[in-house]
């Protein structure tokens, strides 16, 4: 039985466009991140000293100050900064160079796809937090996976999965909202490049959907995207 559960990674998201912010927050929540959203730089700075964030996502243009100035301000307040991604509509090379040289860890030009944003966030967390990669227990609500003991619990009850089913479940859950092609899943999970074997993916996905209750009535949606692959999402 698993007794320890990893906490959710906490993200500070600074964005004044409320409609766009709502979309990004939804993506992050579905990927199992805890998100604090701020519409102004001052709102964020008031909260920052007393909050521990694993990662920050900053827009550049804000109603009261610019994102790079917010970054400089928190550098003055703390010796240890969380990694920072700029997500902004500014695409000039000079802007990108300036903000990276000032201490940002990554720069994404709007509009960003869900897949691109999640890949960059996860890559940055792996690079800056070894424990993010090495964590053995991950909590996805009623679904918990212990990668060290290779156990899966659904609502407290162990679910029997084959090795490949567990690997596939883990990969889907670490990439919620991302469209994953059958060929990509064959390469990552099976270590194979043979297109003729992609039928294996369909069979394993069908088993996972049933065993782990990855259906809307249980809060998940594991969808087949015609001629493209599969996407696991939180159901509304």
pLDDT attached to residue 1 = 34
Q: 3-state SS string over 25-69?
A: HHHHHHCCCEEEEECCHHHHHHHHHHCCCCEEEECCECCCCEHHH
Q: Which residues of the chain have pLDDT under 50?
A: 1-5
Domains of the chain are 10-132 (3.40.50.2300), 136-234 (1.10.10.10)
pLDDT attached to residue 226 = 86
pLDDT attached to residue 132 = 62
pLDDT attached to residue 3 = 34
pLDDT attached to residue 130 = 64
pLDDT attached to residue 85 = 95
Cβ neighbours for 173, distance < 8 A, ≥ 6 positions apart: 32, 138, 140, 143, 145, 232
Q: How far is residue 140's CA from residue 69's CA, in Å, rounded to a whole number? A: 36
pLDDT attached to residue 23 = 94
pLDDT attached to residue 7 = 67
- How much of the chain is in helix, strand and coil states, percent to nearest 5? 45, 20, 35
Residue 157: asked if its preceding bond is cis (omega within 30°), the reply is no
pLDDT attached to residue 158 = 92
């Amino acid at each position: 039985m698993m007794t320890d559960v990893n906490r959710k990674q906490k993200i500070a998201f600074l964005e004044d466009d409320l409609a766009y912010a709502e979309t990004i927050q939804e993506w992050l929540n579905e990927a199992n991140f805890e998100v604090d959203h701020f519409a102004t730089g001052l709102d964020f700075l008031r909260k920052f000293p007393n909050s521990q964030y694993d990662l920050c996502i900053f827009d550049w243009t804000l109603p009261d100050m610019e994102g790079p100035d917010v970054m400089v301000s928190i550098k003055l307040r703390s010796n240890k900064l969380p990694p920072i991604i700029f997500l902004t509509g500014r695409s000039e090379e000079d802007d990108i160079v300036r903000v990276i040289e000032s201490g940002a860890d990554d720069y994404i030009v709007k509009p960003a796809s869900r897949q691109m944003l999640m890949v960059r966030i996860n890559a940055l967390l792996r690079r800056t937090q070894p424990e993010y990669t090495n964590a053995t227990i991950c909590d996805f609500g009623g679904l918990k996976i212990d990668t060290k003991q290779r156990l899966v619990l659904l609502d407290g009850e162990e679910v029997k999965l084959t090795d490949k089913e567990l690997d596939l479940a883990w990969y889907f859950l670490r990439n919620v909202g991302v469209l994953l092609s059958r060929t990509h899943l064959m390469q990552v999970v099976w270590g194979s490049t043979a297109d003729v074997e992609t039928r294996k993916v369909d069979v394993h996905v069908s088993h996972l959907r049933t065993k782990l209750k990855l259906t809307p009535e249980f809060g998940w949606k594991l969808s087949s995207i015609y001629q493209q692959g599969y996407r696991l999402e939180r159901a509304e």
